[in-house]
Amino acid sequence: MVRPRVVRVQELVSIDEIRAAAAGLDGVALRTPLVPFPRTWPQLLLKPESLQPTGSFKLRGAYTAISALSAEARRRGVVAHSSGNHAQAVAYAAALLGVPATVVIPANAPPVKIAAARAFGAEVVISRPGLSARVAATDELIARHGYTIIPPFDDRMVIAGQGTVGLEIMTDCPDADLVLCPVSGGGLIAGIAAAIKALRPATKIIGVEPELAADARDSLRQRQRVAWPSAQTQRTVADALRVEQVGELPLRHMLSYVHDVVTVSEDEIRAAMRRLALEARLVAEPGGAVAVAACLFRGRELPAARIRVAVLSGGNVDPALLTEILGAAAGQPATGEPATGEPATREPVTGEPGTARTAGCE
């Protein structure tokens, strides 16, 4: 008689795990504020993770995961693969903890991200573009050196660390009824959703990704992991969101907690970056700006809300790209961005200039 194979399914990350991660991150990660985006109604608050020491939210998960390793694993060292932001975070966190680090970054990552990982003390290995190439290079390093991998998103400790973003949002604005979050591999939205749904179940969580890399949208709606070809996801300017497939554990969180995933165009991403810099005085990389782009240009696709929070997930933008995008402000506005500077027609309602709306978040 053949016995059926028993598959053990991981439980979803708990609020207690996220609170433990928050305690460990005290004094390491910046507790980023909620910053109002001017002249928007419904109220739009920004969670600028671009202000972290490594320029993105990734520090939270990387430090949480590395700090949980045994002394022997720390001695051997860690390895990570990344489009750039996770690599920087692992390099920085490993240096703080005295752990040797090697990071695998694709050749088409912005040079500013590669340089930062080296500056933080990691050994950098350049791979071909695409998730499969990064994973293959990482597996080879593990086999050769015995490193412990710090996954970029499909990991319980990483998700718990990223969930501290949601914990802070609910502490600072307990009445927020809509939270928007960029999606790549899904670790950030998984952690944020786990925290927020534990504390305020009525709050809706929306993921945002580029139209040119919408694997998370397809995965959520088909209720299974859907992969997009690397050649397609590489088209988007949002280099941080080019992962071809969400992680298994993140998708389980998304299926339980996430209301929907919406997409934004390349022009809308660039317009959001420009408006963040000129109106909110915040620098965002393309992937970091997608949640804001959804609020500014896709309002009719979003659930009704009084208070919206958009996670600005990172600001590690190539200087030449930022110069190009900001330079467009002196000429013709990008598609989807009205010349008047008012929210695009997809935004349902506009507030009066200069009016502050902070109900529930004083």
Write down the pLDDT at residue 330: 59
CA 240 to chain centre: 8
208, 210, 252, 254: which is closest to 228 by C-alpha?
A: 210
State which residues of the chain have pLDDT below 70.
1-8, 329-360, 362
In this structure, are residues 294 and 193 in contact, taking their beta carbons and an 8 Å threshold? no
If one counts every other C-beta atom within 10 angstroms of the C-beta of residue 135, the result is 15
Question: Judging by DSSP bridges, how do beta strands 260-264 and 204-210 pair with one another?
Answer: parallel
Would you list the domain boundaries of the chain?
15-56+155-330, 58-149
**Farthest CA pair distance, the chain:** 75
Please tell me whether residue 322 adopts helix, strand or coil conformation: helix
Write down the pLDDT at residue 359: 47
Write down the pLDDT at residue 332: 47
In this structure, are residues 137 and 127 in contact, taking their beta carbons and an 8 Å threshold? yes
pLDDT tens-place string over residues 299-324: 999 999 999 999 999 999 999 999 99
**Peptide linkage before 348 cis (omega within 30 of 0):** no
Catalytic residue among 58, 113, 197, 204: 58
244-282 in b/e form (b: 16+ CB < 10 A) is bbbbebbbbbbeebbbebbbbbbbbbbbbbbbbbeebeb
- Taking phi first (over 0 means left), then psi (-120 to 50 degrees means alpha), and beta for anything else, what does residue 55 get? left
Write down the pLDDT at residue 83: 86
Write down the pLDDT at residue 329: 66
Distance of alpha carbon 297 from alpha carbon 202, whole angstroms: 24
Q: Is 58 a catalytic residue?
A: yes
CATH numeric code, 15-56+155-330: 3.40.50.1100
The string of DSSP codes covering 42-54 is SEEEEEEGGGSTT
In this structure, are residues 169 and 101 in contact, taking their beta carbons and an 8 Å threshold? no
CATH tag for 58-149 (out of 3.30.70.980, 3.40.1390.30, 3.65.10.10, 3.40.50.1100) = 3.40.50.1100
Q: Is 67 a catalytic residue?
A: no
Quick one: the chain helix, strand, coil %, rounded to 5?
A: 45, 15, 40
This prediction has a pTM of 0.90
210, 176, 187, 164: which is closest to 310 by C-alpha?
A: 176
